[in-house]
Amino acid sequence: MAHENGINGGDTDSETVELNPLRRTRFHVNRVDSLEGRASLLGEQETKKSSLRYMTREALPRLDNYRNILSIQAAHRPSLDELHNPTLLNKGFGSHTLTIPQLKSTAPGVKFGWIQGVLMRCLLNIWGVMLFLRLSWVVAQTGVGQGVLLILTTTVVTTITSLSMSAISTNGLIKGGGTYYMISRSLGPEFGGSIGLIFSLANAVACSMYVVGFCESLVDCLRPFKACIIDCATMDIRIIGCITIVVLLIIVIIGLEWEAKAQIFLLIILLVAIGDFMIGTFMGPKSDLERAQGFVGYSAELFKENFYPNYRYSEGVEHNFFSVLAIFFPAATGILAGANISGDLKDPQTAIPKGTLLAIFLTSLSYLMMAIMVGGTVMRDATGNITDLWTYNSSLLAMPFGCKYGTHNSFEVIQLVSAFGPIIYAGCFAATISSALASLVSAPKVFQALCLDKLYPGIAWFSGEKNKEPIRGYLLTFVIAVAFILIGELNAIAPLISNFFLAAYTLINFSTFHASLAKPIGWRPTFKYYNMWLSLAGAILCVSVMFLISWWTALITLCVVLALYLVVSYRKPDVNWGSTTQAQTYKNALTAVQQLDRVEEHVKNYRPQLLVLTGAPNARSSLVDFAHHITKHQSLFICGHIIETPISYKTRNSMVQNCSSWLRANKIKAFYSLVDSSNFQDGATSLLQAAGLGKMRPNILLMGYKQDWATCPRENLNMYFNVMHKALDMHIAVVLLRLQEGLDSSTIGDVEDSKRLAPTSIPGNQSFSQLSQASSTSDISIPGSPAPRRSKTINEYPNPSSEEQRENRSNIVPITNILNVVTKFQRKHKKGTIDVWWLYDDGGLTLLLPYIISTRRNWSNSRLRVFALSNKNSELEYEQRNMASLLSKFRIDYSALKVIPDISKSAQAGTKTFFDSLIADFQELADSKNSNDDDDDDMNIIKDSELMAMKEKTNRHLRLRELLLENSMEANLVVMTLPMPRKGAVSAPLYMAWLETLTRDMPPFLLVRGNHTSVLTFYS
């Protein structure tokens, strides 16, 4: 035996095993059950003793153990049950082989490092169309001073956003989806889905903007040669743009590897073009023509003039700082170019922070330098005539004479200043084409991740892949880009996307702030150079800039985000990403419970907090619905389920999930609590003692009436009775609900299966109902309907030879009975009354519960009628006035009040006969056990001495039955004070006989006994 020999020759655990050498996994285990293998085992000891996996079933900490279960590289550690419970090993564990799902093999995609994947893409995207075509115009409008401020504003926004993004991207493995993935996994699917859709659209529109920028520069380049297609203007831009986007689409579909190679070539051209411009500023104008067009070289006087703003009316807009910022801001949107292809990066956690922040520094520095250089070398206005240059040495004086050149009037200033003009055109082409390529790749990648998560209906089709490439997404982006290319105006397209990008930046910053505020245990970013308050300031800054740029487009953007948010919230996708909103929910709940625990209880703040012994909630839906009418989202509701046998963790977890899902599906705000115990009494005691948290503990125990009390095993009756005693011992109110049909519908299946259970040809009064624990007595009937026949046992059927026929007949349940049980408290009740028999003062709970129920929509047609007892018949009118005054002070609206004068009157003979029939079996049992002194048996029999001691109480309950039959047979609900079950004074059978006397043949009946602490007050 393994425990006798040991792998190391010494004492070892009896469960030490050797893995089958043919199956090198932790889960395929063979025992050494014979001494025959001892020599070979010891012989292999030296070669195996260095490997711990041969000596234990435990798994060592490894990365693969923590991967997603669907990951190809995922490993599977032994479960707790496999290690802790030896019975699993004895039940064939040695021959069990774990089956891991085989995932579809796909061709490996291209993976990029931080330079090629992030830095280069961000540089190419930020050095886009604005650098060559609009930077000079921005300086003309804002001046050098405000131009620098404008560039720094965008730099601050992008830097703060990048710090926040770096924190998120280093807090765990980042998959494909970029910005959408980070926001959705941080703030949840609602925010992530809305911003993912908007961000995808923004990237698609940005692609069109860059293509239009390329077409503008190309048309300007061809105009001197009069190489026009139609008009050397907007129509040419549209035609060339459509051709260009088709070529770019082909490049992208070929594959990212080709696109990456093209990016390297374009970056080299772009760097050469920037260098060409800077060299040109130092070389100065090379001809009088360049001077005539406004390039005069470095001049302190010109720099001073260009330092101040000169906002003008242009293209239908009277410009100001923020309108210019709206046009320039898309230049800053390139910071997400690397993050958007996070799924194609080798190490996104390192690449995204490093590449993005370095790109922001380099591009911001270059924009600042070029803005200052333009302001110091080029005039705002020039006519192109060298004579005018000397006549109007100030650009301000040249304004009235219709200038075509200068920073205000020409978008070709960068080419004019450069040392070699054609290189600038090449650089402009490179900048615009590279940015268009990046946007054309980013939009489908983000949209693909959104489609795969299936947050919105009807978009999953676009997630179709070919080698993980979203081909359909590329085509959708192509269609959107073409639609905006047809606008043909760069200044018209740019402001459209600024607010969309700012909205994305806002949520990135807010994600970091929210995660830092909620402080979930899983928030451990390796990037430390962020600050929660700086992220919050960044989010506020982004929103402020949105409204300053254009308040109406900002409102539209926010409305779109809100609408998309509500769509996801309504659909409630089945995803669980561990978002910070979930962490914040836990933190808020914990804080609220802790604060509540410090609040002293006051009668004005009393709320009925229910522990309802429902079993499986779907098996007693009527009981659940009734309890829900009391709590109605405003107080605690716990469904207690007691199972009288031990259950495994897997079974328990499955039951909790299924029952909780049923409650949510039926919009019941309740908690489900499952207890396995040796018997009902111990399980109920556990729930009473342990359910709830702090002040959020049940103060009412609600149970269904035990209809089979007369026929059930005596110990079951005793346990039911003792649970009431235990609740009252703990000062927890006891409430019993009885329906004549019973409450337990578990034996008849779901309502949807009712047609299968009951053919419509069978009359309702001929069926045999098996609802709940049906009373064994023969007089049960529902007011207003034919009295059903008593359910027969197997021995009572007339044909004992046909067992199958008897079983089929006993299982037939009419549809009307099923619906009556399951939907009893779901439908609106007819006009009627709720009769409240407030017999004894239990603190007011007997009055409060029916009042709460009467305020619910389903009971709006039911008015309260109050019945009370009188101390003296001679003071009946006085007692009635006092009760009316009390109800008025309690602000309880009632329709009628009746004081009962003759409760002590002797009951009628027929009522006594009825009661005697209820207790006859228990009296006979007492007679047969007169010689038995067992205390336990005494609790399950009714002795003559007990009947004599309780004679007056028994008569009182018989009189109450007569009064109930006289006054409350037509009520929608009857609520009565529960008789006090005095410990040691009344036995369980006698007490249940009292309750049966009160509730038999009555409408839905609620018996209530408060804990004698006031729950009503007339003080303000």
pLDDT on residue 357: 93
Q: How many CB atoms lie within 10 A of CB 957?
A: 20
pTM across the whole model: 0.69
- CB 422 within 8 Å of CB 261: no
Q: Which amino acid is at 49?
A: K
DSSP of 378-403: B-S-B-S-HHHHHH--SHHHHGGG--
- In whole angstroms, how far apart are CA 1012 and each of 148, 842, 851, 868? 76, 4, 18, 17
**Beta-carbon contacts of residue 745 (< 8 Å; ≥ 6 apart):** 619, 620, 621, 622, 771, 772, 818, 821, 822
Report the alpha-carbon distance of residue 981 to residue 953 in Å, rounded.
Answer: 11
- CB 118 within 8 Å of CB 347: no
Report the alpha-carbon distance of residue 217 to residue 237 in Å, rounded.
Answer: 9
Structure tokens given for 931? 């010689």
Give how far the C-alpha of residue 702 lies from the chain's centroid of Cα atoms, to the nearest Å.
31
Give how far the C-alpha of residue 810 lies from the chain's centroid of Cα atoms, to the nearest Å.
45
Q: Give the architecture-level CATH label for domain 114-386+411-571.
A: Up-down Bundle (1.20)
For 605-746, CATH gives: 3.40.50.620
- CB 557 within 8 Å of CB 195: no
> Taking the chain (1020 residues) in consecutive chunks of 10 residues, what is each chunk's mean pLDDT?
39 39 40 45 49 63 60 62 57 40 47 87 83 88 94 94 89 77 82 85 88 86 80 86 92 73 84 92 88 89 92 82 88 81 81 92 94 92 70 48 78 88 86 83 85 83 70 90 86 78 88 87 86 94 88 88 87 78 86 90 90 92 93 92 92 93 92 94 95 93 93 92 94 94 66 34 31 34 33 34 42 59 83 93 92 92 91 78 89 90 87 92 69 55 88 92 93 94 90 94 94 86
Structure tokens given for 148? 């620098």
Give the total residue count for the chain.
1020
Report the alpha-carbon distance of residue 611 to residue 689 in Å, rounded.
Answer: 11
Q: Return the closest-CA partner of residue 408 out of 341, 326, 319, 473.
A: 319
Q: Where are the domains of the chain?
A: 114-386+411-571, 605-746, 831-923+941-1009
Q: Return the closest-CA partner of residue 694 out of 589, 585, 587, 593.
A: 593
Report the alpha-carbon distance of residue 533 to residue 542 in Å, rounded.
Answer: 14
Best CATH choice for the domain 831-923+941-1009 from the list 3.40.50.1980, 3.40.50.620, 3.40.50.720, 3.30.70.270: 3.40.50.620
DSSP of 817-836: HHHHHHTTTTSPPPSEEEEE
Beta strands at 973-977 and 832-837: parallel, antiparallel or unpaired: parallel
Cα angle value 455/460/461 (rounded, 5°): 165
- In whole angstroms, how far apart are CA 89 and each of 38, 81, 367, 649? 22, 10, 69, 17
Q: Could you give the residue ranges of the DSSP H alpha helices within 28-76? A: 38-43, 45-48
Give how far the C-alpha of residue 636 lies from the chain's centroid of Cα atoms, to the nearest Å.
21
pLDDT on residue 83: 62
Residue 146 backbone zone (phi > 0: left; psi -120 to 50: alpha; other: beta):
alpha
Report the alpha-carbon distance of residue 668 to residue 104 in Å, rounded.
Answer: 41
**Beta-carbon contacts of residue 36 (< 8 Å; ≥ 6 apart):** none
Q: How many CB atoms lie within 10 A of CB 294?
A: 31
DSSP of 524-590: --S-----HHHHHHHHHHHHHHHHHH-HHHHHHHHHHHHHHHHHHHHH--S-----HHHHHHHHHHH
pLDDT on residue 229: 82
Q: Return the closest-CA partner of residue 490 out of 238, 218, 212.
A: 212
DSSP of 943-1006: -HHHHHHTHHHHHHHHHHHHHHHHHSTT-SEEEEEPPP--TTTS-HHHHHHHHHHHHTT-SSEE
Instruction: Tell me the helices (H) and strands (E) count for the chain, helix number first.
Output: 40, 14
What's the number of CA atoms in the CB half-sphere (13 Å) around residue 886? 15
Cα angle value 492/496/500 (rounded, 5°): 160
**Beta-carbon contacts of residue 465 (< 8 Å; ≥ 6 apart):** 106, 448, 471
Residue with tokens 């929103």: 543
Report CA Rg, the chain.
Answer: 41
Report the alpha-carbon distance of residue 76 to residue 65 in Å, rounded.
Answer: 6
Report the alpha-carbon distance of residue 734 to residue 610 in Å, rounded.
Answer: 10
Beta strands at 18-19 and 29-30: parallel, antiparallel or unpaired: antiparallel
- CB 462 within 8 Å of CB 451: yes
- CB 615 within 8 Å of CB 744: yes
Long-range contacts of 12-17 (CB under 8 A, 24+ apart): 12/55, 15/57, 15/86, 15/89, 16/55, 16/56, 17/57, 17/94
Q: Could you give the residue ranges of the DSSP H alpha helices within 134-255? A: 135-169, 178-187, 189-222, 234-254
Residue with tokens 């002590």: 904
605-746 and 831-923+941-1009 share one fold: yes
Q: Return the closest-CA partner of residue 404 out of 374, 377, 378, 381.
A: 381
Q: Sign (positive/negative) of CA torsion 875, 878, 883, 886?
A: negative
Q: Three-state SS for 894?
A: coil
- CB 1002 within 8 Å of CB 974: yes
Structure tokens given for 451? 């489609």
Report the alpha-carbon distance of residue 175 to residue 166 in Å, rounded.
Answer: 14
- CB 120 within 8 Å of CB 354: no
Report the alpha-carbon distance of residue 324 to residue 891 in Å, rounded.
Answer: 65
Report the alpha-carbon distance of residue 366 to residue 912 in Å, rounded.
Answer: 103
